[in-house]
């Protein structure tokens, strides 16, 4: 059991947990993730490690309530525990002094970008960060990102805060300014990563994306998370989660992410309205 030592609301339906997991806190590196299971009937879901404090023995997880499992998780409070927490998983981000790195986070994707931006800064890079959300209320980690970035640009799709438009538009502006960029790291919803890659492809700007396919064990034994990268099948949980964005087959990834949409909707509905007919035997 892994106790939640601090649970707080970051934005509408976005929550941040600090969880006691001393061994994971000690070992994890930027770019890695955990898989968790909240209760005996629960499923295993992956979440990126947004931060770690080895001295306190805690890791930080940030998640958006998008379905049954994240809503269940969101109901947990400070002092509650997570049944299973497995990690650190995946390959760490390749961090070195590249020169100038642009770190782009979209929506909940800002959470995984934060430790990478921090790591890139510590490695001596000039860090230009671009973060964006659909609307102002969904924007997270602005202060934290400001601390680890030399330049921070913010955008919202609806213009309610910062630049009115997408992070890819802001990136285009940064590129147009003409200063050399050595690496772009983009994490967020697939359409966002895809558009960012389209922007950087023409300029031949190396772009790293972090993929979020469906996972089960996340240790390389099942292939649920497989994606096509450069025409080869790779397992995101062990070969990734980060890949060269110019090589990723995003269309396939989007289709695979939607494989269980019906069941996901059914589970979420039952969780929100447990009294409905044909609801399963479990309470929230």
Partner 1 sequence: MTEPTEKKKKAQIPRTPMPEQQPKVRARNFDEVPFGYTPELAKLEASRCLQCKKPVCVTGCPVSVDIPGFIWLILQEDFRGAARKLKEMNSLPAVCGRVCPQEDQCEKVCILGKKGEPVAIGRLERFAADFEQKQGEFTRPAMASPTGKKVAVVGSGPAGLTLAGDLIKKGHKVTVFEALHKAGGVLVYGIPEFRLPKAIVQAEVDYLQKLGVEVKCDMVIGKIFTVDDLMANGYDAVFLGMGAGLPTFMNIPGENLNGVYSANEYLTRSNLMKAYLFPQYDTPIARGKKVAVLGGGNVAMDSARTALRLGADEVYIVYRRSKKELPARIEEVHHAEEEGIQFHFLTLPVEILGKDDGWVCGMKCQKMDLGEPDESGRRRPIPIPGSEFVLEVDMVVVAIGTGANPLIPSTTPDLKTNKWGYIIADPETGATSKKGVYAGGDIVTGSATVILAMGAGRKAADAIHKYVMGEQARSGEQGA
Which residues in this chain contact partner 1 in the complex, by CB under 8 A?
23-24, 27, 37, 41-44, 68-69, 83-89, 216-217, 219-224, 226-228, 233, 238, 252, 255-256, 258-260, 263-264, 266-267, 270, 280-282
Task: Give the Cα separation of 131 and 161 in Å (integer).
Answer: 11
Instruction: Select 26 or 158, whichever has its Cβ closest to partner 1.
Output: 26
**Smallest gap from residue 209 Cβ to partner 1 (A):** 18
158 alpha carbon, distance to own chain's centre: 22
**Smallest gap from residue 3 Cβ to partner 1 (A):** 15
Q: Please say whether the dihedral angle defined by the alpha carbons of residues 228, 232, 233 and 234, taken in this order, is positive or negative.
A: negative
Instruction: Select 76 or 270, whichever has its Cβ closest to partner 1.
Output: 270
Phi, psi of 261 (to 5 degrees): -50, -45
**Smallest gap from residue 272 Cβ to partner 1 (A):** 13
Query: b/e string for 31-56 if b means 16 or more Cβ within 10 A?
Result: bbbbbbbbeeebeebbbbbbbbeeee
DSSP one-letter code for 248 = B
Structure tokens at 11: 């934005």
Instruction: Select 178 or 275, whichever has its Cβ closest to partner 1.
Output: 275
Instruction: Select 39 or 136, whichever has its Cβ closest to partner 1.
Output: 39
Instruction: Select 43 or 137, whichever has its Cβ closest to partner 1.
Output: 43
**Smallest gap from residue 85 Cβ to partner 1 (A):** 6
Instruction: Select 70 or 207, whichever has its Cβ closest to partner 1.
Output: 70
**Smallest gap from residue 282 Cβ to partner 1 (A):** 6
Task: Give the Cα separation of 214 and 217 in Å (integer).
Answer: 10
Matching residue, tokens 């659909």: 134
Which residue, among 240, 233, 189, 187, has the nearest Cα to 209 in the 3D structure? 187
Greatest Cα-to-Cα distance within the chain, rounded to the nearest angstrom: 61
**Smallest gap from residue 41 Cβ to partner 1 (A):** 5
């Amino acid at each position: 059991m892994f106790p939640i030592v601090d649970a707080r609301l970051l934005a509408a339906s976005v929550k941040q947990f600090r969880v006691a997991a001393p061994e994971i806190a000690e070992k994890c590196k930027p770019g890695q993730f955990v898989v968790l299971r909240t209760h005996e009937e629960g499923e295993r879901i992956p979440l990126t490690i947004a931060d770690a404090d080895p001295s306190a023995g805690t890791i930080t997880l940030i998640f958006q309530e998008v379905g049954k499992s994240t809503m269940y998780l969101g109901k947990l409070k400070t002092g509650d525990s997570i049944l299973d927490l497995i990690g650190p998983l995946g390959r760490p981000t390749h961090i070195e002094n590249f020169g100038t790195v642009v770190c782009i986070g979209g929506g909940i994707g800002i959470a995984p970008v934060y430790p990478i931006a921090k790591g890139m800064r510590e490695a001596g890079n000039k860090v230009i960060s671009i973060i964006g959300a659909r609307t102002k209320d969904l924007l997270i980690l602005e202060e934290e990102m400001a601390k680890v970035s030399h330049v921070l640009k913010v955008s919202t799709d609806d213009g309610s805060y910062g630049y009115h438009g997408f992070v890819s538009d802001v990136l285009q502006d940064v590129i147009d300014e003409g200063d050399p960029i050595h690496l772009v790291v983009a994490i967020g919803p697939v359409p966002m990563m895809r558009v960012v890659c389209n922007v950087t492809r023409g300029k031949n700007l190396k772009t790293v994306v972090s993929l979020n396919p469906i996972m089960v064990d996340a240790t390389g034994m099942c292939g649920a998370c497989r994606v096509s990268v450069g025409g080869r099948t790779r397992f995101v949980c062990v070969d990734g989660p980060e890949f060269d964005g110019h090589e990723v087959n995003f269309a396939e990834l989007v289709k695979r992410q939607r494989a269980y949409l019906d069941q996901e909707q059914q589970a979420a509905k039952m969780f929100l309205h447990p009294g409905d007919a044909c609801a399963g035997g479990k309470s929230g």
